[in-house]
Amino acid sequence: MHLHRYEKIWLMLGAGGLALFIVLLCVNAFAMGMAPPSNMEMIDPEKVTETPPFDKPGLKQVGDNEYDAYMTAFAFGFAPTKMEIPVGATVNFHVTSPDVIHGFQIPETNINFMVLPGHISSATHTFDKPGEYLILCNEYCGAGHQVMATTIIVK
Amino acid sequence: MVIARKIDDTLPHVPVQRSAATLSLAYVWVAYIAFGLAAVAGMVQGMVRGGIMELPSWTNYYQILTAHGVLMALIFTTYFIVGFIFSGVARTTGGSLHGAALKFGWAGWILMTLGTLMAVVTILMNEASVLYTFYAPLKASPYFYIGSALLVVGSWLAGFGVFASYRKWKRENKGKTSPLFLYMGVTTYILWITATIPVAVEVLFQLIPWSLGLVPTINVMLSRTLFWFFGHPLVYFWLLPAYMAWYVCLPRIIGGHIFSDSLSRLAFICLLLFSIPVGFHHQLMEPGISPAWKMIHVTLTLIVVIPSLMTAFSMFAIFETTGRKKGGVGLFGWFKKLPWTDVRFFAPFVGMLFFIPGGAGGIINASNQINAVVHNTIWVTGHFHITVGAAVALTFFGVTFWLIPALTGRQLTKTANRMGMVQTVFWAVGMFLMSLAMHTMGLQGAPRRTDYTTYMDHPLALGWMDYQRVMAFGGGLLFVSAILLILILLYLTFYAPKGNTEYPIAETETTQEVPKILERWPVWIGLVAFLIILAYGYPILQQIQHQAPGSPPFVTW
Ligand code: HEM
Ligand SMILES: [Cu+2]
Ligand SMILES: [Cu+2]
């Protein structure tokens, strides 16, 4: 099989760039701890409302300016409906669904993950700027999907 | 080596025999009927999201979106591909399909059409507004799933028809290298059949029993994994036939030659190997899959950069050598020598241009944590409208402009060619505007698959409205283009003057030695199986052994 000289150069540059890129992704994920949200915890979707801490969704202070937010995503809303935190707070979101699949996205942050019934999804964000952040569902979940949203107020 | 039939240009002729031509046309026309209906849905979606129109109470946004996704992504593409491959296989193996291939072809058409009708009826009855990904535990009517299963099985029969033609050719041409088009067709079907097995398992063993109420709950994680096992190679199933047109038909259209027979085959083999074991890149943002397995799939995903670069090189090498032979001089003189006013070249070429940002966007999507910025935003929708909706679709349109008259024994007239150019420009501008708006708004967080909403007048969501309107405008141009296309195709099928249209199949300039290993299918299928076990064996075992409590069905629309 004959490879043209230019094609060899072209493919070598491509392969080299690709290898470098993959190495960077690995460093980023494993050495710098920025792997995508991949929590392995499970829960019975038919018993979400009876299972602590999801029986009482809400914020729990766990550190100086750090909170655990236990939330449920359901057709068609999020619980709790109101959350307020001080500027600079770090929030660990833990979300699950008692019914179908939902999405959990906070635009203008990197919080964006799927919420699957049977699983608990987690991700962490530090809110450095004040404002009323929109939390929305970005996976189709039924007729009211477009109204499925809430906010988190950072003061 | 390609066998070309001796052609007597004084008599009207069909480059493929009537029986094969009819089969191919039957597939191609179902494809364009689905396309036309889906184009109406697409335009409506844009208008609704842009706040320009409201839907009447007898329908809803998600019903229309399900119709659009199913008809475009599953029906239009699959039917067109099956029809195109049958015609090209006939054309490159002596001009006809033998009995077994025809039988498989028609049996496939009947099953697929039955399945399509079942799915479409359930969607129309609003019993299947689950979108084209039908994620459990949203539960559609069992007939929707049975219809999808028939569609898949029908397409397998079509594949068996192509395998039968390949065997026959090999028997009659002992020791010779198969025609390139035939080889690529076989590779495409190996990819397709391998990829559809897991989704068939999902539908037959998970969704159908569960939707019939025979089992109370479903393993949601497993169903998603099986779906995306299929979902990514699905996009390569769309792409490979477009590449067939680029590698084999386009060089002939511009009056050149195939760049390298072996490298073309090698590119297809690479695509076969590295398009399947990669589905987790659609599940990067989900719980229940470890970061290490996600990274393995991301790495395998990115390897397709290599065959993509090979394809890009071959294409531009063909364009340059052909342009120079026609007298183009200087660094870019050859560029002007390309047949810019020939829609058979122009439409696929514009498609190729869309593929450049499309590929770059794909690398972004596949990149592990960057995916968090774009996942499930309408950026993703923008991405696949420039890849499948522009690069692949424009190539298919370009092919159809010569395929239909070649099969019906009519002429691609000057007027039809000119109308095709106009149609291509409308499509390109429409796609450009629509997908640019989608990409931009997606980066700002606007979700995909979402009816008109301002999220209770949240300022951020209000800020997306201008882009939503640009998207709607682009969708309007696309709709005009779609109507124009259907009119041109009706003309080419029924009204264009009788005559000869070439079925363009290029050859290599000199005889080229093709390494035998490229046709040792057991080797490649074995490698595919190895990669699949490597990438999916352990995760799927885990998902069965340590499954989350199951989910009962929900109908939330
Ligand atoms: C007339 C041309 C077209 C228009 C106006 C159009 C418009 C749209 C719009 C606005 C959406 C976004 C809906 C949303 O997420 O809320 C969409 C989704 C989609 N389109 Fe198109 N589109 C066109 C052509 C195509 C083509 C040619 C294909 C593929 C062959 C395609 C495949 C899809 C798919 C798969 C979806 C996603 C459906 C889902 O998320 O479930 N479209 N289209
Ligand atoms: Cu939703
Ligand atoms: Cu993919």
Q: Which residues contact B121 (CB under 8 A, 6 or more apart)?
A: B143
What's the structural domain count of chain A? 2
Q: A73-105: per-residue pLDDT in tens?
A: 999 999 999 899 999 999 999 999 999 999 999
Mutate: best of B133, B224, B457, B556, partner A, most A CBs <10 A? B556
Q: Please give the residue range of the domain that contains residue A21.
A: 1-35
Pairing mode, strands A131-136 and A149-154:
antiparallel
User: Is A106 found in the same domain as A81?
Assistant: yes
Same domain, A50 and A112: yes
Distance of CA A150 to the CA centre of its chain: 15
| Per-residue tokens: B218 | 């479903």
Between chains, do A36 and B287 touch, taking CB under 8 Å as contact?
no
CB B132 near ligand 1, within 6 Å: yes
Instruction: Note whether residue A119 is domain-resident.
Output: yes
Look at A112 and B375 and tell me if their CB atoms are within 8 Å: yes
Q: What is the pLDDT at residue B2?
A: 42
Residue A128 token pair? 């450095």
- Domain contains A14: yes
Does residue B132 sit within a domain?
A: yes
Phi, psi angle pair for B27, to nearest 5°: -70, -45
Q: Based on the domain organization, do A124 and A149 belong to the same domain?
A: yes
In a domain, A40, yes or no: no
Counting as low any pLDDT under 50, the low residues of chain B are 1-10
For A41-78, the pLDDT digits (tens) are 999 999 999 999 999 999 999 999 999 999 999 999 99
Residue B125 belongs to what domain range? Answer: 15-176
Helix (H, G, I), strand (E, B) or coil at B278: coil
B390 lines ligand 1 (CB under 6 A): no
Same domain, A22 and A2: yes
Indicate which residue of B383, B401, B410, B473 is catalytic. Answer: B383
What is the predicted pLDDT for the residue at A3? 81
Residue position matching structure tokens 């190679």: B233
Nearest chain A residue to B456 by CA distance is: A147
Mutation test residue for ligand 1: of B63, B72, B435, the one with most atoms within 8 Å of CB: B72
Structure ipTM: 0.95
| Counted domains in chain B | 1
Look at residue B14 in the predicted model and tell me its pLDDT: 62
- SS3 string, B146-183, reads HHHHHHHHHHHHHHHHHHHHHHHHHHHCCCCCCCHHHH
Q: Is A136 part of a structural domain of the chain?
A: yes
Residues of chain A found within 8 Å of residue B137, distances taken between Cβ atoms: 99-101, 117
What pLDDT sits at residue B5? 43
Question: At A95, which helix (H) or strand (E)?
Answer: strand A90-96
**Catalytic residue selected from A74, A104, A113, A127:** A74
Above 90 in pLDDT, residue A122?
Answer: yes
As a whole number of angstroms, the distance between CA B461 and CA B463 comes to 5
Q: Does B381 contact ligand 1 (Cβ within 6 A)? A: yes
Q: Which residues pair with B383 in a beta bridge?
A: none
CATH of residue A91: 2.60.40.420
Q: What confidence tens digit (pLDDT) does each residue in B108-154 have?
A: 999 999 999 999 999 999 999 999 999 999 999 999 999 999 999 99
Q: Pairing mode, if any, of strands A121-126 and A90-96?
A: antiparallel
Q: Is pTM beyond 0.90 here?
A: yes
The answer to whether B554 contacts A100, with C-beta atoms less than 8 Å apart, is yes
Question: What whole-number distance in Å separates Cα of residue B279 and Cα of residue B194?
Answer: 13
| Ligand 1 within 6 A of CB of B131 | yes
Q: Are residues A71 and A146 in the same domain?
A: yes
